[in-house]
Amino acid sequence: MPQLATALRAPARQRPARPSATLAVTGAATAVALMNYTAPMLTLPDTAAAFGTPDSARAWLLNGTPLGLAVLLLVAGSLADAHGRRRVFLLGTLALGATTGLGAFSGSTLTFTLARIAQGAASAAVLAGSLGLLADAYPSGRDRIRATGVWGASVSGGIALGPLLAGALSLVDWRLAYGVLGLGALVIAAAGTRTLGPETAKAPGRETAKTARREPAKASRREPAKASRREPAKASHRTRPDLPGALTLGLALASLLTALTLGRDGWLRLPVGLLLLASAALTAIFVAVEHRSRTPMVDLALLRRPAFLASTLGALFTGLAVIGLFSVVPALLQSGAGMSPLGAAWLFVLWSGTAFVVALQARRLAGRLSAAYQLTLGFTLSATGVLALLGALEGPWPRLLPGLLVAGAGSGLLNAALPRLAVDSVPPEQAAMGSGANNTARYIGSAAGVALTLALTPAGPDTALLVSAGLALTGAAITLVLGRRPDRRPRR
């Protein structure tokens, strides 16, 4: 696509974008990324049958994309802050289209999982760049609240439409959904080159080569020896991605997911314990790497901010308690209640569609309820809805309706509050890092939640429901406590 390549090389020639155009393009790309994320929920039985995937390995068919997202979201956020949110967003959307199309041609569990990991990496660039672009287009106030609410609704809309599209197309061939989504991402990437304007702000370290050459000369006139030695080094380090951090985080998450997957066959076995210990050790190494890095994936000083903690932990428990469970619910409905893929998709849409509507309307709560307390309310409603599903996943479908509606309302509140808190809890120049940290926590939680739910289902679906409700109530308690603490700026 020569036009796209030209636009990526020379964004300054583009006309300034209207905020509404930025919102439309980023919302559409986010929706496609989430549709791609949720599509395997409906095709899981057909995909596993096509590849001959054993029950103990089915979690990897769902967890490829969350793994890629979780590992690279923070790297994508840092790259977007350093090299341009527009560039990272467009490259991510283009890569999402290409890798999703390739996934349709996979012939085994391994190749499909690798394609899904690549799709997760591309989605990481889309999500981190999109919230950064929105932070530029809507600097503050009610317009930002409305924009992040619409973006949150695009998350809910993508979650809702992905299984519906996959369920409908699976009547012909389950692979068709990935071809359609790949084409959609390519169309959005092409549209983005025309509608997204040039970068409007520079984060620290985002210097052009010309500026970098100029800076030492200016510094030498002010502080001859000292400044000229320091500035070029600073520029070179700020633009270098934190690959050691990404590697240790990826290994930690892969160890955790493998342990949870193996736990299905017994939690007290030696390999499970060793993998859990390895995950804990690698997480500690990740923290140490971030503490020593000159260009960390996440600025650890942000952890002193209660709002940032509420955003990150709220996203983690959203993944664990909400996304993890409902990623598996369509497959449970097909196996337990004997529903068709399309029938299970429509019930899934009742939950995710309710989340979409509530996320759009949640902006009306902005003046009355802080984002942290909105998370508390969302977790409480989600737990209530999940408890109402007890005993219903293997029965007649009308019994599912009240629980799905209440849980969907809770999910909508969470989806609206998380992006708002992600960008409000960090300095403007770190908006992409803030959104990256938020989404990383969400997808670490969702990957672990999927593996945990699948490991618990042999004991009966009600066991998974009770664990999910307990995790949601834990998230409610954490965000309630953090919402009461005054925010403080970290010392730099």
CB 206 within 8 A of CB 81: yes
For residues 149 and 146, what is the distance between their CA atoms, to the nearest angstrom? 5
Q: pLDDT value at position 233?
A: 36
Q: Tokens 């210097």 correspond to what residue?
A: 207
For residues 36 and 159, what is the distance between their CA atoms, to the nearest angstrom? 9
For every one of its 492 residues, what pLDDT tens digit does the chain have, with 9 covering 90 and above? 444 443 444 444 444 458 888 899 999 999 999 999 888 888 888 898 899 988 777 888 888 888 888 888 777 777 777 778 889 999 999 999 999 988 888 889 999 999 999 999 999 899 888 877 888 888 777 788 788 778 877 887 887 788 889 888 888 898 999 999 999 999 999 999 888 877 654 444 444 444 444 444 444 444 444 443 333 334 344 456 778 888 888 899 888 888 887 777 777 888 889 999 999 999 999 989 988 888 787 788 888 888 888 999 999 999 999 988 998 888 888 877 778 888 888 888 889 889 888 888 887 776 678 888 999 999 999 999 999 999 888 778 889 999 999 999 999 999 888 888 887 888 877 776 777 788 788 888 988 888 888 888 888 889 999 999 999 999 999 999 988 776 655 444
Whole-structure pTM value: 0.73
For residues 6 and 27, what is the distance between their CA atoms, to the nearest angstrom? 23
For residues 234 and 334, what is the distance between their CA atoms, to the nearest angstrom? 56
Q: pLDDT value at position 294?
A: 80
Q: pLDDT value at position 349?
A: 86
Q: pLDDT value at position 5?
A: 41
For residues 478 and 433, what is the distance between their CA atoms, to the nearest angstrom? 22
Q: Tokens 């109402």 correspond to what residue?
A: 388
Residues in contact with 166: Cβ distance below 8 Å, sequence separation at least 6, in sequence order: 38, 39, 40, 41, 42, 43, 174, 177, 341, 345
Q: pLDDT value at position 25?
A: 93
Q: What is the DSSP string of 119-187?
A: HHHHHHHHHHHHHHHHHHHS-SHHHHHHHHHHHHHHHHHHHHHHHHHHHHHTTT-TTHHHHHHHHHHHH
For residues 98 and 72, what is the distance between their CA atoms, to the nearest angstrom? 18
Structure tokens at 65: 């994309």
Q: What is the DSSP string of 394-442?
A: TS-GGGGHHHHHHHHHHHHHHHHHHHHHHHHTS-GGGHHHHHHHHHHHH
Q: pLDDT value at position 274?
A: 94
Q: Which of 487, 340, 469, 359 is nearest to 413 (CA)?
A: 359
Q: pLDDT value at position 344?
A: 85
Cα atoms found within 13 Å of the Cα of residue 72, Cβ hemisphere only: 22
